[in-house]
Structure 1
Amino acid sequence: MMTRTVDLRSDTVTKPSQAMRAAMANAVVDDDVLGCDPTAFCLETELATITGKEAALFVPSGTMGNLISVLVHCEVRGSEVILGDNSHIHIYENGGISTIGGVHPRTVKNNRDGTMDIDLIEAAIRDPKLEICYPTTRLICLETTHANCGGKCLPVEYIDKVGELTKKHGLKLHIDGARIFNASVALGIPVHRLVQAADSVSAKILRKTLGGGMRQVGVLCAAALVAVQENVGKLESDHNNAKFLAQGLNRIEGLKVDVNSVETNILYFDILEGTNITALKLCKNLEEHGILVMPESSFRIRLVLHYQISESDVQYTLSCIQQAVTGVPDENGGK
C-alpha cells in the first residue's frame, strides 16, 4: 500500500509550512485595492528593497505579473515585444499579451542555456523609419532561471548587455523572474544586481482591470513573507538535491542526463532508444509508488525539486526509477 508521496511535478506544488499557516492565521489585513492592507504593504516594501526597484506589487500569479509588465511597456496596441521562442510568456501564458493587450510577439531562438544571441535580438528590432509597414518594437523579455532550458541562470553580464541594447534603441527590458531567487542563490549574486538592468513598473490599475485586486490579500502576503525570509535559504539544498538526483539517474542503464547542465532545481532525463519503457509508462509506474512526475515527450521526463523534497525522497525516487526501468532493485534500498 502506498504510504509515501514525492511530488516532483513542479515547485508550484508545495504546501504551506506550519510557519506559513500560523502567519496566515494571524495576519493583519485590510482592503488592498484601497491601499490599506498592512501585510501586503510590508511584503511589497521588502520585495522592492530586495529587487532594488521603486515599488513592488502583489499579484495572484507570475503569469499576471508578466502580462501587466508587458502591457505597461506596450500600452500602444500593435506594439511588438521580442522574446525567446522557448520562453514561458510565449508558450505557457495563453497568448495573453496578444489576446488582451494587442501586443505582437517576435521570437528569437533560445539557446540551450536560455540566452538569445545579442546580434539576433538587435536584428529583430524594427527600423522605426519603416513603422508604416511594421509594428513598433518597444520591449525585450528575458527569463531567469529559464524553465524550458532546464532551470538555466542567465549570467548577469548577459543581462547587462541586453540592458545596454534596450537603452541604445530606446526600448524597455522585462525579466520573467518566477525563479529569480534560484538564480540568485546559484550564481551567488544578489537579486537586485541580477535585475539591475531591468525596468520595473507598479501598475495597480492594470491589476484591477485583470481581476487581480483581491482585497484582503494580507493572508497570502503573510505566507509569502515567511517564504522570502525563511525558505530562500533552503534553495541551495534544492539545487544540491537536483544534482544528486541527476547523477543517480545517469547511473541507471537506459537513462541519460546532462549532469553538467543542472544548475538549479530543474532537470530533464531521456529514456534511451531500445529501453523497454516509455515516459508515460514510467510516470504511471512511479505514480503507483507515490512519485509524481511530468512527461515532457514520449521519451523525456522533467523533474523539479523544492524544499519539501528531502534527500531521502531523492534516494527513494532513484530506487523506484531503477526498478521500473531495469527491473533490478537499487542495492542501497533507496529508502
Structure 2
Amino acid sequence: MCTPKETIIDLRSDTLSQPTDEMRVAMANAVVGDDVYGEDPTVQELEQKCAELFQKEAGLFVCSGTMGNLISIMCHCQYRGSEAIVGQSSHVFLYEQAGASTIANVSMNTIPNNDDGTYSLDEFQKRIRGSDSHEPITSLAIVENTHNICGGKVIPLEWIDELASICKDNNIKMHMDGARIFHAAEYLNVPVARITRDFDSVTFCLSKSLCAPVGSVLMGSNEFIRMARRYRKALGGGMRQVGILAAAGLVALNQIVPRIGDVHEHTKQIAQAIYDMKSPYLTVDIDTVQSNICMIHFLQPKKYSAQYFVERLNRVTSKELSDGITDKFGNGIIVKVMARDEWNCIRYVTYFHINGEMTELAIKKIKYCITELD
C-alpha cells in the first residue's frame, strides 16, 4: 500500500493523463446545444477543426476510439460476408471485444505484425478475397498508427503509400486507427494529413496523452460521416450537450499537441538510462524508441520476469530510502508500469503530466532496481 510519504509516477498508460487547468476553464465556459440535433456549436467547432487538420470533408465526435473504429468498420463493410484485413497485434483485433464480428457481422482476417508495426504486403495481397462465391469479400484494410503492442512504432510512409496503391487497385477501403496519430506526425515531422492522405477514414483519441477526459474524433467524407452519425446513434453514442467535453478537445489541439516533442524526449531519456545500464537481465531497443511508448525486454525471464520487476518498482524499501532513492523532500518513489509477461516485457508510457523532474525520479528508481538484480 502507498503512504502519503511516497511519490507515485504512473507510467502504465497515457490514458491516465488529467485535464489541464485550461481545459477545466474551457469546459466550464463552453457554449453548448443538443448535439443529436446538430446544435452544439462547440462540438461543431471541434469537428470542423479536426476535418481541416486531416484534410477530410467532415468529422464526428464519438465517445471513444473503440466506438470510432467500430463505426468505421460498419460504414465500410456494407455487404453481408464482408471481412477486414488487420494486423494480428492490432488494438481493434485484440482489445475491442470482437465488436467487428459480434456487432458489425464482419470477420477479421489477421496478418502477423512485423516489429515495426507493419505487416507483409505480399501476404496482404494473397489474403484479398471475394472473386469466389465461397469466400468473404475483402472490403477494408485497417492500420494502427502509432502501433501500441509493437512499442509505439510509427508506420513508415513508404509502406502506407504501397498499401494504398494495392487497396486502390482492388477497391478496398482503408481505415486508420490513429489513436496516437499526433505522436506519429511528431516523429515523422509531417502534418497528420500527409499520414492519412489515402485513408477513407481515421480516428484519433483526445483522452490519451492529449489530456482530454473523454472522446475521439472520426473523420472522412461527408457521405461517410452522414452514415457514421447514424451508426453512432444506434450504438448509443448520441450525446446531448457534449460541447462541455469538446471544449477540452479544442484545448488539447491548441496547447497539448504542440508539446508532444517534450513527451517523446522524456520517453527517450528513460530508455537511454536503461540501455546504458547494460544489464544482462533487461534492455530496450534504443534505436527504435519513436514515440511515447517504450518496451523493456527481459532477457532471462525465468530468473527475473516482467511481473517481478513491476512489483519491485511498486515497493519502497528501507534500504533504498537510506541509499537516497527519494524525491527532494525525502519521500520514497514508486514507479507504476505495465507487465506483459506473454512477451517478456514491460511497457511504460509518458504523457503531458510526466515532466522533467518526474522523469528524473523515475530513472533514479528504475536504475536502482536494476542494480539489485544479481
- Normalised-by-shorter TM-score class: over 0.9
Which TM-score applies when normalising by structure 1?
Answer: 0.94
Corresponding residue for 2:231?
A: 206
Against the structure 1 CA distance between its residues 275 and 73, is the aligned structure 2 distance closer, same or farther, given a 3 Å change threshold? Answer: closer
Q: Helix, strand or coil: the match of 1:314?
A: helix
Counterparts of residues 207-286 of structure 1 (less than 5 Å): 207-252=232-277, 253=279, 254-273=281-300, 277-286=304-313
2:348 is aligned, of 303, 310, 313, to 303
User: Following the alignment from structure 1 to structure 2, what is the Cα–Cα distance between the partners of residues 275 and 93?
Assistant: 31
Contact 1:256 1:271 in 2 (8 A): yes
Alignment-mate amino acid for residue 273 of structure 1: Q
CA displacement at 1:214 relative to structure 2: 1.5
Which TM-score applies when normalising by structure 2?
Answer: 0.84
Corresponding residue for 1:290?
A: 334
Corresponding residue for 1:333?
A: none
Against the structure 1 CA distance between its residues 323 and 69, is the aligned structure 2 distance closer, same or farther, given a 3 Å change threshold? Answer: same
Counterparts of residues 70-109 of structure 1 (less than 5 Å): 70-109=73-112
CA displacement at 1:3 relative to structure 2: 3.6
Corresponding residue for 1:146?
A: 147
Alignment-mate amino acid for residue 108 of structure 1: I
CA displacement at 1:234 relative to structure 2: 1.1
What does the per-residue CA deviation read over 1:285-319, in whole Å, with 9 as the maximum and x for residues that have no partner?
32233321110116410001111111221221122
Counterparts of residues 190-201 of structure 1 (less than 5 Å): 190-199=191-200, 200=220, 201=224
Alignment-mate amino acid for residue 315 of structure 1: E
Alignment-mate amino acid for residue 230 of structure 1: Q
User: Following the alignment from structure 1 to structure 2, what is the Cα–Cα distance between the partners of residues 276 and 313?
Assistant: 29
User: Following the alignment from structure 1 to structure 2, what is the Cα–Cα distance between the partners of residues 208 and 151?
Assistant: 32
Alignment-mate amino acid for residue 38 of structure 1: P
Q: Helix, strand or coil: the match of 2:49?
A: helix
User: Following the alignment from structure 1 to structure 2, what is the Cα–Cα distance between the partners of residues 323 and 176?
Assistant: 37
User: Following the alignment from structure 2 to structure 1, what is the Cα–Cα distance between the partners of residues 102 and 122?
Assistant: 29
CA displacement at 1:275 relative to structure 2: 8.6
CA displacement at 1:284 relative to structure 2: 2.2
CA displacement at 1:276 relative to structure 2: 5.5
User: Following the alignment from structure 1 to structure 2, what is the Cα–Cα distance between the partners of residues 213 and 21?
Assistant: 23
More deviation in 12-21 or 298-307? Answer: 298-307
Alignment-mate amino acid for residue 135 of structure 2: Y
Identity of aligned residues (%): 42
Q: Structure 2: state its 5+ residue gaps.
A: 201-219, 316-332
Q: Structure 1: state its 5+ residue gaps.
A: 329-335
Corresponding residue for 1:54?
A: 57
Contact 1:277 1:325 in 2 (8 A): no
Counterparts of residues 179-198 of structure 1 (less than 5 Å): 179-198=180-199
Contact 1:248 1:318 in 2 (8 A): yes
User: Following the alignment from structure 1 to structure 2, what is the Cα–Cα distance between the partners of residues 187 and 8?
Assistant: 24
CA displacement at 1:274 relative to structure 2: 7.6
Contact 2:27 2:245 in 1 (8 A): yes
User: Following the alignment from structure 1 to structure 2, what is the Cα–Cα distance between the partners of residues 271 and 165?
Assistant: 38
1:37 is aligned, of 35, 40, 49, to 40
Contact 1:275 1:325 in 2 (8 A): no
What does the per-residue CA deviation read over 1:171-214, in whole Å, with 9 as the maximum and x for residues that have no partner?
10001110110001110010111100000231110001111112
User: Following the alignment from structure 2 to structure 1, what is the Cα–Cα distance between the partners of residues 165 and 299?
Assistant: 43
Corresponding residue for 1:331?
A: none
Whether 1:63 aligns to 2:66 is: yes
Against the structure 1 CA distance between its residues 107 and 275, is the aligned structure 2 distance closer, same or farther, given a 3 Å change threshold? Answer: closer
